Structure 1
Amino acid sequence: MFGKGNKTVGYFINTGIIACILLLPLQHVFAQAELMPYGNLSGIRIKGQLMAFDTRLVVSGNNWKKVYFTGKELQQPQFIRNGDEQVVTTKIDSIHFTETVKDIGKGKARITIKCFSAQDTTLDGVYFNVTLPVAYNDGAIKLSNQPEHQFSQTGLGAPGMHLQHDLEEASFMAASQDIRIQQDTISTIIFRIDEKQKNISLYFPICSGKIGKGVVFQRTYEIKVSGLIDDSPAEMKLDASAPGRVFDGLGGNFRIQNPAHDPEVIDYCLKNLRVAWGRVEMPWISWQPDSTVDPTKTDTSKLNIRVKRAMEMAQRLSQMNIPVIVTAWFPPAWAVEGKLNMGRSPEGIWGNPLKRSSMTKIYQSITDYILYLKAHYGVDVADFSFNESDLGINVRQTAEEHDELIKGLGAYFASHGLTTKLLLGDNSDATTYSFIYPAMNDPQAKPYIGMVSFHSWRGWDTPILQKWADAAKQTNLPLLVGEGSIDAAAWGYPQYFLEQSYALEEVNLYTRLLAICQPISILQWQLTSDYSPLKGGGIFGDNGPLEPTQRFWNLKQLASTPKDLRFMPITSDVADISCAALGDNAKHVYTVHIVNNGTTRKVHLTGLPAGVNKLNLYVTNIKSDMKQKGSVKISNGECEFKADQRSFITLTTQ
């Protein structure tokens, strides 16, 4: 993941800002407005159910030929929460924004936007953009002081065309949801039909034309939603007759980047979580900065401090019988083509290719590290990888070069008595699956591949995730999620880690990964202070007591899955519910993980095997920290239970 790959510089730049942010009072509240940390709303929740719509901040110029907008990983925003207010600060080019979203009643939020330009400029306009789901396309519309009438896309002209109205308020009525948008003054609203999705998009002007440097503009909007709450019972069906792959359990990344605060988080996580796999760094650039100097001759007491910390971390995991994966980020200058690129070049290119003329020396350097780790720290390394080499964080390879590396380095490992294998992929995202195909289809590479691996930062659609499941099946190798989480830029706005929406979206993805991909493990990024599942203790400037967050309790609940269970097919007929099941028919041990993304509802579960008489029920949500909520009785392989709104729920025989 590249947000963390360049994190060191960004962390120290932002430490002062973040420290001030985290001194603000935090209140755990049921957030209604679902605000993303980059400034976009995805809707407003009522009783846990999302009444969906999308918002963005938009800057348009050159007669709408240049349009820029807020979005994930497009800017470098800051996010804070203060009670029922959420505040995002960000900028697009020279336009600086402060967006404040405040819950002001059931289904109702007030959005206040301030902006100014850092220089004199001329624009078509700066807009608050609201896009409605396609369900509204066949609904009714009511504009200020006009009668309600059936909405017609044809009235807006062809997709992408503009239609303008002077109004203060607009209401849209769909079959099961209504939305009213009111602005603080009458102004000209632009209506457009999205060219791709064909849905309604409204642009509320904040400022336009000639904009003087430093002139502040402020607009306020209120959005109110209402609609039917779908609390109909969910039907879930388990098929225990078709056990799949084995799940070892939740794992973690332990790349030491903050020696001041990493130890306390690592200690807490290793004492309170069952960690099944661990991934640590090989600080290659510090291990052998000079190719003519043999680092294996160095006494452990004289090792580079980064190397020493990484090796001690691997040793600690190994002594806990946690299998260890070693991954290299930054290579030494002698091992790459061209000038060493520590980040992204001005051309947008990450990393460096390995130097072809130095491949034997590269193999030796990596092998020496693993042999040294074994000889001096007692660690048998299970697998090795270059981190996200499909992207170049920080070694960059083509798919064919990745194939050649697996064969060349794998054979070198074997010739030196190592059982260490290579990860196939360890890709930056699920979307870059074609990177693994040459090696996957190369019989000569197969003996040296330990697991198939990808990172879960992007590419969550079921068809994309299924490609990784298919790759594991074709190779008959375990599948590993080498880095698990949902937002590669989140270290830049760390207060968002405390949001209910982040916690639930993260564990929802993990549940879907379990069900679709059947991984041997998901390695949390990270079980250190970087992306920490804890708060306080000085982490990101928060000097309160060190304590677990909702994310930690989600991880603990997932990590409490009994060992050596196999994935079992399970389905739900409700879109707001994700589920995954694991079991051992011989031992009559079963676990079902459920994420309820919507309102409270009853669940009817069928397909439980004979001999299972009850399941213990655990719940993690904004009010409950992996609390046992009694047990569920089973009759004839069926049971019923209540799924609390916006909760991670686990049913288990243990």
Structure 2
Amino acid sequence: MTTFYRFDIMKNLRIFQFGIVVLLCGILSLPLSAQTEVMAWSNITGVRVDGELIDFESSLRVGTLKGDMEITGKEKQVRPVFHREGDMQEVTTTLRGVKFHQKVTDKGKGLVEISIDALSDTTLNQTAYYCIALSPENYVDAKVRTSGRKLTVTSANRKLEFKFNKSVKATVEKESTGTVVYISLMSILKKAGRTALSMELHASGVIDHSDAEITLDMQNPGSLFAGFGGNFRLQNPAADPKVIDYCLENLRVAYGRVEFPWRLWQPEEESDPIAVAQNGGLNKRVEESLLMAKRLKAMGMPVILSCWFPPAWAIDGGPASYARQGGVIAYRLDSRKKEKIYKSMADYLLYAKRYYGIEFSMFSFNESDLGIDVLHTPQEHADFIQEFGAYLAGLNLPTRMLLGDNSDATTFDFILPALNNPETHKYIGAVSFHSWRGCDDVTLRKWADAAKEINVPLLVGEGSTDAAAHGYAEIFNESTFALYEINLYTRICTICQPLSILQWQLTSDYSLLWGGGIYGSKGPLRPTQRFWNIKQLASTPADALAIPVSSSKKNVNCAAFGNMVRGEYAVHMVNNGADCEAVISGIPAEVKKLKVYVTNTKDCMKETAVKVENGLVRVHLPAISFITLLSGE
């Protein structure tokens, strides 16, 4: 039996260790800072100069110009390999039989060296390109000049100068997303064909230090924010416990989600799983999941129960008739066994209540829109909510259903049949989506509106930005990854006003910690910049209401919360550009002083304080940083 409890002496030791880490933050948890933003799939998204992102997007492409083309991008390649060595970031990836190895090295202010090696394992009448895409936002008036070994892009506020080690053939194309410069690497693919290209890039532009005006609207408080949450799906018995302990002891976690190990709970169709458990036959992994839920409940948080893997007997046609593709297997449940299926799942809820004292707040099949691993049609999802919700109500169990728990924000239409059927609403505890993809403002508002329509909270059941990142885990320790993640959470808090965002995960999977062997990392277990960002966001006062907030500056994203009963407030700001001043207005009159916390590549929740005068405060926002203002002691 695995237990997650420790003697008090161990807890005190861990808290002491956390204090040491805080003192040594600059040494132990300093993330790897990038002047050049390199994505794990090889694309460069820009070069930071004094914090300002001189934006463009590079890509590798193989195909036919103005025809069929494969392009590097998020989740578009199979297992790219990302690695950093000091100021050098490198990515190895393959497109259509061409293996690319790219190195990007920061050499000075705005100065970058880029080298690309390409080896073809096939013969095709196609071309390999290195491409530079220029967005209309900053390059609508850009002049692109190419001549032999030089490429220059000049706009009103940006300048890019590429100097190549040899003459290149460049083609400028106007595409739907903007201007794209195609630089030929291989004019035709030949088996064992090899080429190399290196270049020096100098990026410069207008650095925006102008003030950001942040305005709070205290007269129109919104939805309740219980606090930041986490997923606790146990997968690594060796590494999970130490990461879970660290996170639960050093973060305020307000919401939890655990796995229902259904295929281990009742592997045999005709067995009685409760009787088996009572007679000492409870599977170890099932017990560990129950103990995890019990620990979270003991800390006072609601716990969601989600199912990934059904038992073989519940699968229509049996497991052998399915094949996993890209992580998706999409099992269909056998509708002829619906009563047995509902009883099996309800038995688990009854057992958890009787023998562990756990009442799960909500239930879901994980990502059933996609099929990881159970697949529902939209109508089947609505039917399941209505039928299983009624089944649990008949047993006097308080567990409600999650509407959605979708794989992404993009698949919003999956919830429409249930949303439009009033008979499902009494069984729905919350609307849920996962934030891996599609979180543009318009789509996020759809999810917020859906929750308001049926008067239930909105949850982000799995929070983060890149579902494939476990395959190139070094990226978790990059400052760029941390910045993208906290930007997403800040936007979601403002646009969606969720009850909670549940981090995927607070275990060793997609870990917020590094070292201790996590993903092969060396050294002591220690927090990354991502951890400090999450800790800072999780410091929002408990049970605060979302406060509408606006920013005059596009590079500064904001979210605000207030618990007016206790007089506790939080303002979160992500500065995505150069350092500047923020002028925050609308602060309640009773607030006279605010604590200021800053997290970036150098500081880990560095604390200062500012005075508030007449509801107004001026605060310095360091470049590419997460800044939080907190009232109260």
| In structure 2, C-alpha distance between the alignment counterparts of 1:210 and 1:116, rounded to whole Å | 9
Q: What is the SS of the residue equivalent to 2:41? A: coil
| In structure 2, C-alpha distance between the alignment counterparts of 1:436 and 1:64, rounded to whole Å | 37
- 1:69 is aligned, of 58, 68, 71, to 71
1:190 matches 2:171: yes
Asked whether the 8 Å contact 2:163–2:200 carries over to 1, the reply is yes
Structure 1 residue 210: Cα displacement: 4.8
Asked whether the 8 Å contact 2:433–2:460 carries over to 1, the reply is yes
Structure 1 residue 649: Cα displacement: 0.7
1:570 matches 2:549: yes
- 2:266 is aligned, of 252, 265, 288, to 288
Q: Residues 369 and 348 from structure 1, CA distance in 2 versus in 1: closer, same or farther, beyond 3 angstroms?
A: closer
- 2:124 is aligned, of 122, 127, 131, to 122
Structure 1 residue 84: Cα displacement: 0.4
Which residue does 2:7 correspond to in 1?
none
| In structure 2, C-alpha distance between the alignment counterparts of 1:141 and 1:253, rounded to whole Å | 48
Structure 1 residue 338: Cα displacement: 2.5
1:260 matches 2:261: no
| In structure 1, C-alpha distance between the alignment counterparts of 2:222 and 2:322, rounded to whole Å | 40
Which residue does 1:176 correspond to in 2?
157
Which residue does 1:48 correspond to in 2?
51
Mapping of residues 415-434 of structure 1, within 5 Å: 415-434=394-413
Which residue does 1:154 correspond to in 2?
none
Structure 1 residue 345: Cα displacement: 4.5
Asked whether the 8 Å contact 2:322–2:331 carries over to 1, the reply is no
Q: Deviations over 1:405-447 (max 9, x none)?
A: 0111011101112011110110101111111111112111111
Structure 1 residue 349: Cα displacement: 6.5
Q: Deviations over 1:101-153 (max 9, x none)?
A: 0112211211111111224x133321111111223342334433xxxxxxxxx
Asked whether the 8 Å contact 2:573–2:627 carries over to 1, the reply is yes
Which residue does 1:14 correspond to in 2?
none
| In structure 1, C-alpha distance between the alignment counterparts of 2:386 and 2:127, rounded to whole Å | 56
Which residue does 2:393 correspond to in 1?
414
Q: Which amino acid aligns with 2:302?
A: P
Structure 1 residue 208: Cα displacement: 2.3
When normalised by structure 2's length, the TM-score is 0.92
Which residue does 1:102 correspond to in 2?
105
Structure 1 residue 586: Cα displacement: 3.4
Mapping of residues 324-473 of structure 1, within 5 Å: 324-340=303-319, 345=324, 350-473=329-452
Q: Which amino acid aligns with 1:640?
A: R
- 2:490 is aligned, of 488, 502, 511, to 511
1:224 matches 2:179: no
1:557 matches 2:536: yes
| In structure 2, C-alpha distance between the alignment counterparts of 1:107 and 1:509, rounded to whole Å | 26
Asked whether the 8 Å contact 2:102–2:117 carries over to 1, the reply is yes
When normalised by structure 1's length, the TM-score is 0.89
Deviates more, 1:301-310 or 1:280-289: 301-310
- 2:94 is aligned, of 91, 95, 98, to 91
Q: What is the SS of the residue equivalent to 1:370? A: helix
Q: Which amino acid aligns with 1:183?
A: F
Which residue does 1:111 correspond to in 2?
114
Which residue does 2:620 correspond to in 1?
642
1:495 matches 2:474: yes
| In structure 1, C-alpha distance between the alignment counterparts of 2:464 and 2:325, rounded to whole Å | 28
Q: Residues 491 and 210 from structure 1, CA distance in 2 versus in 1: closer, same or farther, beyond 3 angstroms?
A: closer
Q: What is the SS of the residue equivalent to 1:122? A: coil
Q: What is the SS of the residue equivalent to 1:530? A: coil
Q: Deviations over 1:619-642 (max 9, x none)?
A: 1111111111x2111111111010
| In structure 2, C-alpha distance between the alignment counterparts of 1:341 and 1:329, rounded to whole Å | 17
Q: Which amino acid aligns with 1:82?
A: E
Q: What is the SS of the residue equivalent to 1:138? A: coil
| In structure 2, C-alpha distance between the alignment counterparts of 1:271 and 1:302, rounded to whole Å | 32
Asked whether the 8 Å contact 2:32–2:477 carries over to 1, the reply is no
Q: What is the SS of the residue equivalent to 1:299? A: helix
- 2:277 is aligned, of 294, 299, 320, to 299
Aligned length: 602
Q: Which amino acid aligns with 1:97?
A: F
Structure 1 residue 342: Cα displacement: 10
Q: Which amino acid aligns with 2:153?
A: F
Asked whether the 8 Å contact 1:619–1:627 carries over to 2, the reply is yes
| In structure 2, C-alpha distance between the alignment counterparts of 1:622 and 1:246, rounded to whole Å | 31
Q: Residues 331 and 111 from structure 1, CA distance in 2 versus in 1: closer, same or farther, beyond 3 angstroms?
A: same
Structure 1 residue 343: Cα displacement: 7.9
Asked whether the 8 Å contact 1:385–1:426 carries over to 2, the reply is yes
| In structure 2, C-alpha distance between the alignment counterparts of 1:176 and 1:343, rounded to whole Å | 54
Q: Which amino acid aligns with 1:179?
A: L
Which residue does 2:19 correspond to in 1?
none
| In structure 2, C-alpha distance between the alignment counterparts of 1:297 and 1:30, rounded to whole Å | 55
Which residue does 1:610 correspond to in 2?
589
| In structure 2, C-alpha distance between the alignment counterparts of 1:26 and 1:611, rounded to whole Å | 37
Q: What is the SS of the residue equivalent to 2:187? A: strand
Q: Residues 87 and 304 from structure 1, CA distance in 2 versus in 1: closer, same or farther, beyond 3 angstroms?
A: same
| In structure 1, C-alpha distance between the alignment counterparts of 2:610 and 2:616, rounded to whole Å | 10
Asked whether the 8 Å contact 1:240–1:585 carries over to 2, the reply is no
Which residue does 1:209 correspond to in 2?
188
| In structure 2, C-alpha distance between the alignment counterparts of 1:441 and 1:536, rounded to whole Å | 48
Q: What is the SS of the residue equivalent to 1:171? A: strand
| Structure 2 gap ranges (5+) | 1-27
Q: What is the SS of the residue equivalent to 2:461? A: strand
Which residue does 1:32 correspond to in 2?
35
Which residue does 2:227 correspond to in 1?
249
Asked whether the 8 Å contact 2:29–2:529 carries over to 1, the reply is no
Q: Which amino acid aligns with 2:623?
A: Q
Q: Which amino acid aligns with 1:624?
A: D
Q: Residues 387 and 533 from structure 1, CA distance in 2 versus in 1: closer, same or farther, beyond 3 angstroms?
A: same
Q: Residues 29 and 270 from structure 1, CA distance in 2 versus in 1: closer, same or farther, beyond 3 angstroms?
A: closer
Structure 1 residue 346: Cα displacement: 5.9
1:481 matches 2:460: yes
| In structure 2, C-alpha distance between the alignment counterparts of 1:503 and 1:27, rounded to whole Å | 12
Asked whether the 8 Å contact 1:108–1:222 carries over to 2, the reply is yes
Which residue does 2:141 correspond to in 1?
138
Q: Residues 29 and 412 from structure 1, CA distance in 2 versus in 1: closer, same or farther, beyond 3 angstroms?
A: closer
Q: Residues 582 and 412 from structure 1, CA distance in 2 versus in 1: closer, same or farther, beyond 3 angstroms?
A: same
Structure 1 residue 260: Cα displacement: 1.1
Q: Deviations over 1:455-478 (max 9, x none)?
A: 000111111000011011111101
Q: Residues 433 and 293 from structure 1, CA distance in 2 versus in 1: closer, same or farther, beyond 3 angstroms?
A: same
Which residue does 2:558 correspond to in 1?
579
Which residue does 2:215 correspond to in 1?
237
Structure 1 residue 222: Cα displacement: 2.0
Q: Which amino acid aligns with 1:320?
A: M
Q: Which amino acid aligns with 1:189?
A: A
Deviates more, 1:78-87 or 1:203-212: 203-212
| Structure 1 gap ranges (5+) | 1-24, 145-166
| In structure 2, C-alpha distance between the alignment counterparts of 1:572 and 1:342, rounded to whole Å | 53
Q: Which amino acid aligns with 1:475?
A: I
Structure 1 residue 344: Cα displacement: 5.5
Q: Which amino acid aligns with 1:648?
A: F
Q: Which amino acid aligns with 2:349?
A: I
